[in-house]
Amino acid sequence: MKTIDRPGARRVAHFESVAVLGAAVLVAASALVLLSPGQAAAEECVRLVPDPGGESLVNQCNACRIVTLLRSRTGNATPTQRSFTVHPGMPVAVPFKGPGRSRMTSESPCEGTPGAPVNIVKPEAQAAAEPEPICVKLFRVEDRVVMLNGCDFCRKITVARTGPGGGEARMSYDLKGKSSLPLDPLGAAAARIAGEGRCEG
């Protein structure tokens, strides 16, 4: 099992056979990363990727993003422009059908997130959004993956497990402050923290 933890990135753990389990503890490279809200304000987070149904917008950051797509069609047809709100871990299927080419023309933070435009006419309409802390990470300890809460308070996390066939299943866990919990792979090929928030109650 490998654990991936880049600076400012969210966490991904890959499950492999015991024979491949080496002595590495944390760092490796991966395409599955989530940037923190502060980084998201200055980075390009959303990617336009092909899928069996056409195209989808995938947000690789840990903050909501608004993107504008321009769809050009063959011939002299006028290009179509549409805006989409893309949340972390929630791909958005692009509705354009038929031949043509899609490209992103703009990307910006959603209202209320760091780096979003401020309403200068009515400043009170723009409430200051306090960034949600990132407390939980996945660590590899010997032959298993452990979820570790580095904060002093309870955190609710959602873990997404990816099976060998590519399907994804999600489960939620509550971790008390400064606590850890082993993560059962349940036959998955990879796992990542897909969401984190405050515990209920």
The one-digit pLDDT tens for each residue of the chain (201 residues) are 444 444 444 455 655 533 333 333 333 333 333 444 444 444 588 999 887 778 889 998 888 989 998 888 777 678 888 899 999 888 888 888 778 888 889 998 887 766 666 555 665 555 555 677 899 999 988 888 999 999 999 999 999 999 888 888 999 999 999 999 999 999 998 899 988 898 987
- Determine the Cα–Cα distance for residues 113 and 157; give it in Å rounded to an integer: 20
End-to-end CA distance of the chain: 34
- Determine the Cα–Cα distance for residues 155 and 171; give it in Å rounded to an integer: 14
Side-by-side strand order, sheet with 80-86: 80-86, 65-72, 101-109
Q: Residue 89: CB partners within 8 Å, gap ≥ 6?
A: 34, 59, 160, 194, 195
What pTM was computed for the model?
Answer: 0.40
Q: Which residue is associated with the tokens 């321009």? A: 70
Question: Cα dihedral angle (29, 49, 134, 143), rounded to 10 degrees?
Answer: -40
Q: Which helix (H) or strand (E) holds 38?
A: helix 37-40
